[in-house]
Amino acid sequence: MKRLVSGIQPSGTLHIGNYLGAIKQWVELQNDYDCYYFIADEHVIDTKPRPVDLRERTLETVAMLVALGVDPKNCVLFVQSQIPEHGELAWLLLSFTTLGQLTRMTQFKEKSDRHGQSVGLLGYPVLMATDILLYDAEIVPVGEDQVQHLELAREIARSFNAHAGQTFTEPKPLLTKAARIMALNDPKRKMSKSVPGSAIGLLDDEATVTATIRKAVTDSDPNSNKMSPGVENLFTILEGFSTPETATQFGDKYKDGQLKYSELKEQLIEDILAFLGPVQKTYKSLLARPDQLERIIKEGTAKARPIASAKLAIVKKNLGLLS
């Protein structure tokens, strides 16, 4: 099977947008590819999180991924900082990256206003390229907003290979058909757990889920013949959590002009709660057993590090560095 690499940052409470937009695809892809999934804890250092928070969020993210169906027996699940080769290779690859390439990155332009123009933020895409190239990833699942970063990884690989000989595989994008989930209270913006009423967290209780869905925006213009962004967003979520038959049934009602938004929302509440119940139970069970989480992380490290170490050794040899 082709090797696939993807990571997720431990940057806070995960919501249904994170699940439908990325993690659901991880669960499906692990059956078709040689998958390496990692918690990108080094990628959040530029935001300077409190050390205790970073540690807790990293463990919580591992627990949530497993609860959602990422199977450590069916993929390699590890924590980025446990593999020191990531940092060493990133330093080497900086010499094959230009300042112009980095300053053109959309993420640097967007985040520098909030977090300052740190060298860490500027060099972030090089570490991302390292995450991919270190494992000779052939496939990287990306949304349209991430294609720019993957293309930079390909350019860095090309530059290195031109200097030191064929060393890195140029990864190809797997453009996911993942749902882009928008804010429930403002469908023109992305879903965000930091904005009240915007998101449904994967750990939200029944009362919170119910209240958030019932208050969700529907029609902005009742006289329009086109489905409004709010209703379209609710249908996207419905397709992610309900059966195909249910989604089709509500779609037909909309086409026939018979759809009651209250019924759509109640169906969403029912199906989301049915999904979250067992996920939350497994998540809490894992957090209550830190030894089990640590075992998962150690086993992932034991699988990933030999590959990373061997690759770094080839890189250093090809550069002329002493072994």
Task: Provide the residue ranges of all domains of the chain, joining segments of one domain with +.
Answer: 3-178+289-319, 206-284
Pick one of 3.40.50.970, 3.40.50.620, 3.20.20.70, 1.10.599.10 as the CATH number of 3-178+289-319: 3.40.50.620
At residue 224, the pLDDT reads 66
Pairing of strands 34-39, 3-8: parallel
At residue 122, the pLDDT reads 87
The catalytic position among 24, 193, 265, 311 is 193
Backbone angles phi, psi at 141, to 5 degrees: -70, 125
The one-letter amino acid at 22? A
At residue 90, the pLDDT reads 97
At residue 244, the pLDDT reads 95
d(CA 199, CA 179): 15
d(CA 204, CA 213): 12
The catalytic position among 24, 73, 177, 190 is 190
At residue 118, the pLDDT reads 81
Q: Does 311 participate in catalysis according to the annotation? A: no
**Which CATH class name applies to 206-284?**
mainly alpha
The catalytic position among 111, 253, 316, 317 is 111
Q: What is the pTM of this model?
A: 0.92
Identify the burial level of 246 via C-beta atoms within 10 angstroms of its C-beta, where 0-12 means exposed, 13-18 middle and 19 or more buried: middle
Q: Does 111 participate in catalysis according to the annotation? A: yes
pLDDT tens series, the chain, 323 aa:
999 999 999 988 899 999 998 999 999 999 999 999 999 999 999 889 999 999 999 999 999 999 999 999 999 999 999 999 999 999 999 999 999 999 888 777 667 666 667 888 888 899 999 999 999 999 999 877 788 889 999 999 999 999 999 999 999 999 876 678 999 999 999 898 889 999 999 999 999 999 999 999 997 566 667 889 999 999 999 999 999 999 999 999 999 989 999 999 999 999 999 999 999 999 999 999 999 999 999 999 999 999 999 999 999 999 999 98
